[in-house]
Structure 1
Amino acid sequence: MSSRVFERPRCPRCNLPLHLCLCAEIPRVETRTRIILLQHVVETWKKSNTGRVAALALANSRLLTFGTRDEPLDTAVLSEPGTWLLFPDGPTAPPDAPAPRQLVVLDASWSQARRMTQRIPVLRTLPRLVLPPPAPGTLRLREPTHPSGMSTLDAIARAVAVLDGPEMAAPLERLAALRVQRIAECGTLN
């Protein structure tokens, strides 16, 4: 008898198991603020990854991968004027600063994100957009390891609400809630 675990086939687009596929539900959201998703290589094929789904929904976004041996990260896009970093701590922008033209979002676990800010010097120089912690009772798949922790999709929805308005964020919030609901009803990510 084989000890291999049965893994259900996954959607090649959203990377969720086919029975949980969200592709038909992914909205097209046109934000004023460009979102640069900087994804840790370990997150690339995780079924729990929400950065990929966010990139599919955001018309004004770009997905970059950090940590691949074959392709060094081109940090030029991260150095463009008007770039901020979505991060729970660090130097925040002054209250009278103009809104960012683009926002870098780290798609990684908390420990990976912290190491990315240490290993990519330009990230340490960017003003930070700091979101308040999620409200108690927020629907989640698991408890975060950082008090302000949330999924990448949830964080982007909250940042879009701050930068582009709640009506622009609403489709992303619905998508995040639908993802959690489907996975919770099924009870697994396999």
Structure 2
Amino acid sequence: MADTLSMNNLPADDAECARCGKIAPLCVCADIMPFETRVSLVILQHPQEQDKALGTARLAALHFNKATVKVGLSWASLSKVLGRAADPQRWAILYLGSARAEALAPDRDLVVLDKKGQAEERQASVLRELEGIIVLDGTWAQAKALWWRNAWMLKCRRVLLNPSHPSRYGNLRKEARRDGLSTIESAAMLMSRIERRPEIEQTLLESFSRMLEQYRALRKTTPGFDRDAGAKRNKRFGQAKSMRRRRLRS
């Protein structure tokens, strides 16, 4: 039956792309040329988010010459993430939490918070001094788990976004809040504002729109392809967690 097809039922030439990790019908990375930027981008991806059909972490990273995707639940420090010494105050992390940019600084679409959770007075100077940006990739609950598992994040600057439009995901993937965007949309806003290059946001959003268009087309011809594959990936993730627990007990 059509609605029970899985990834194994797709044509044989639909292997995963080595660059973006998408199957051929969803791959849009062939023509991507990375932007050279002053600021680095690090995407910390929850293990359960990797390989999702609608995931955008790797696609977002391909657009920048200084971008990295790290998969995991916790890291000892920012330096461990980067593999080198780093000053957390020169790095900012996008995490919404309970704060809302529109309430703190309604005239800004990118807001830097101070240690009290209020809008930083030196917005422009803080952004100029940043060396890198960190984006958490996962569902609302997964991003929260990453935040609470990594205490070193509190040493970094924290930023919020105040987008003028909701996520382009639409009804394909629900966001907990209107200001909750996909990883590629978040990276597009952050990097374009910090680098002051509108073409960055335009390019990333065009890639995202193409991927969504191809996803919708594939779902019409192969209903359920991502649902069954996702169930298998979650099963493998659960098995890996069980193995880790057994090793810790032994």
Calculate the TM-score normalised by the size of structure 2.
0.65
Q: What residue is the counterpart of 1:86 in the other structure?
A: 94
* 2:32–2:62 Cα contact (<8 Å) kept: yes
Match of 2:121 among 90, 95, 99: 95
CA gap 1:181/1:134 in 2 versus in 1, 3 angstroms: farther
* 1:134–1:150 Cα contact (<8 Å) kept: no
* 2:169–2:182 Cα contact (<8 Å) kept: no
CA gap 1:115/1:136 in 2 versus in 1, 3 angstroms: closer
- Root mean square deviation of aligned Cα: 2.7
Q: What residue is the counterpart of 1:123 in the other structure?
A: 153
2:86 is equivalent to residue 55 of structure 1:
no
Percent identity reads: 23
State which drifts further: 159-168 or 105-114: 159-168
Q: Distance in 1 between matches of 2:218 and 2:193?
A: 32
Compute the displacement of 1:162 (Å).
Answer: 1.5
Bigger radius of gyration:
2
* 1:27–1:172 Cα contact (<8 Å) kept: no
Q: What residue is the counterpart of 2:175 in the other structure?
A: 144
Q: What residue is the counterpart of 1:66 in the other structure?
A: 72
Q: What residue is the counterpart of 2:33 in the other structure?
A: 27
* 2:166–2:178 Cα contact (<8 Å) kept: no
Deviation per CA, 1:74-94, whole angstroms, max 9, x where unpaired? 523365340110122457142
* 2:76–2:152 Cα contact (<8 Å) kept: no
Unaligned runs of 5+ in 1: none
Letter paired with 1:47: A
Compute the displacement of 1:129 (Å).
Answer: 1.4
Q: How does 1:35-50 map to 2 (within 5 A)?
A: 35-50=41-56
Unaligned runs of 5+ in 2: 100-111, 115-119, 227-250
Aligned residues: 185
Q: Distance in 2 between matches of 1:64 and 1:82?
A: 19
CA gap 1:155/1:20 in 2 versus in 1, 3 angstroms: same
* 1:161–1:167 Cα contact (<8 Å) kept: yes
Calculate the TM-score normalised by the size of structure 1.
0.83
Letter paired with 2:51: W
Q: Distance in 2 between matches of 1:110 and 1:137?
A: 14
Q: What residue is the counterpart of 1:6 in the other structure?
A: 6
SS of the residue 1:24 aligns to: coil
Match of 1:186 among 187, 211, 218: 218
SS of the residue 2:214 aligns to: helix
Compute the displacement of 1:134 (Å).
Answer: 4.7
Q: What residue is the counterpart of 2:206 in the other structure?
A: 174
Q: Distance in 1 between matches of 2:139 and 2:67?
A: 20
